[in-house]
Structure 1
Amino acid sequence: MISRLSGVLLSRRPNQYVVDVGGLGYEVLVPTAVDRMLVDKQPGDALELFTMYYLQLDPTKAVPVLIGFVNELQKEFFGQLLTVPRLGPKIALTIFSVPMSEVAQAIEQGNATFLKQLPGVGTQKAKDLIATLQGKVAKYALMKDQPSASAGVAADASEAMEDASLALTQLGHTRAEAERMLMDAMREAGQPQSAAELLRIVYRRQNR
């Protein structure tokens, strides 16, 4: 399975890139929100994409497809979308026409009005997204979509979020309570350096 491509951009069309890796050209589907983040990339530029593989079932055959993201967090979030009942890769791709953080925030806030306006979603799938993922995607809501050069920063912030959430649940808070407290803390902290920093902000806010 191909989980990452690092090579040279050969060509690009809206939502579709060809990347040369060691003399082989890989065709990659790129969600619209990701495509916008890579707007400055031109043929001949170095390019790294984190990829997810799936088989697109046509009436007579199965077509292998690679989907590309600029960092692991986007790839993780796409995988979360695929856990929603009756929501396959095609619809998940259309959902990614808006930034990951906006979709995740709408899910966490239970904002079905926003979600049902996304391409391919509608009322029932908006309810399914909230029912399946609410309380599980707060860290994605807090990560501003950013170029791959900043992927390490996003990963560090995500790890801090996970560690702080674990600490809060061990102290007796529910997962949902921990996520809400950390979302408030992240809004104040921006990009935290550690779980300890996040926890200090959480308890400072509680003592106000």
Structure 2
Amino acid sequence: MITFLEGKLDTKQLGRVVMNVSGVGYEVLIPLSSYDGLPLEGEPCRILTHHHITDADQKLFGFCTEDERDMFLKLLTISGVGPKLAISALSGLPVRELKNALINGDIKMISSISGIGKKTAERIVMELRDKFDSGEQLDAFAPAEAAGGDNRLRDAALALTALGQKPDDAAKLVKNAAKKLTPDMSVEDLIRLALTK
């Protein structure tokens, strides 16, 4: 199994790159989200991969981040979702927005992705919604502007869990409290806000 390739980025196109690894050219199919993270052609590059093998074919799919690859692999576990559709999903929405839509059951947003109809979107949500840990769920609930290293929501949920709340209930309480989150609010303030009806 090929887990990553490290070498020179020989060719860079939307949806496809060719990696030159010690004189061997590897074609790697990529989502649009990874395209933006790649260096210029001819520069050194390391790309995470998934080697997809079927009876009829084998292909390499590449990703700039572990989050992209993890989401791709989660999507592949769903019946009727192949690598082409998984790449399309990652090209249609950034990983954070896709994760947020899955956790919140946003069928409309997921079915807006090219190639994914309403029934497929419902199946994806049903099968993947519970496959995210409580930390990922809280990250998805955080406002986009708080995404850059703001751990207050996660810390508040962990504290509520330590106080006896079920992880799912803690996540819901913190999600509701996050609507009133301000930059100067402490974790303790957030916990108090979450516990007040």
TM-score (norm 2): 0.74
Q: Which runs of 5+ in 1 are unaligned?
A: 145-153, 191-197
Q: 1:140 & 1:70 partners in 2: Cα distance?
A: 20
Q: Percent identity?
A: 28
Higher radius of gyration, 1 or 2:
2
**Relative CO higher for 1 or 2, CA cutoff 8 Å, sep ≥ 6?**
1
CA root-mean-square deviation:
3.6
1:42 aligns with 2:40: yes
Q: How many residue pairs end up in the alignment?
A: 185
Amino acid at match of 2:46: E
Alignment partner of 1:73 out of 60, 67, 76: 67
1:12 counterpart residue number: 12
1:25 aligns with 2:37: no
Q: 1:66 & 1:139 partners in 2: Cα distance?
A: 32
Deviation at 1:33, TM superposition (A): 1.9
Deviation at 1:110, TM superposition (A): 1.2
Amino acid at match of 1:46: P
2:99 counterpart residue number: 104
Maintained 8 Å contact 2:142/2:175:
no
Q: Which runs of 5+ in 2 are unaligned?
A: none
Q: 1:202 & 1:103 partners in 2: Cα distance?
A: 26
Alignment partner of 1:89 out of 83, 87, 93: 83
Q: C-alpha offsets along residues 75-107 of structure 1, whole Å, 9 cap, x if unaligned?
A: 111111122222121111111112111111111
Q: 1:126 & 1:33 partners in 2: Cα distance?
A: 20
Is the alpha carbon distance of 1:23 and 1:90 closer, same or farther for their aligned partners in structure 2, counting shifts above 3 Å? same
TM-score (norm 1): 0.70
Is the alpha carbon distance of 1:123 and 1:46 closer, same or farther for their aligned partners in structure 2, counting shifts above 3 Å? same
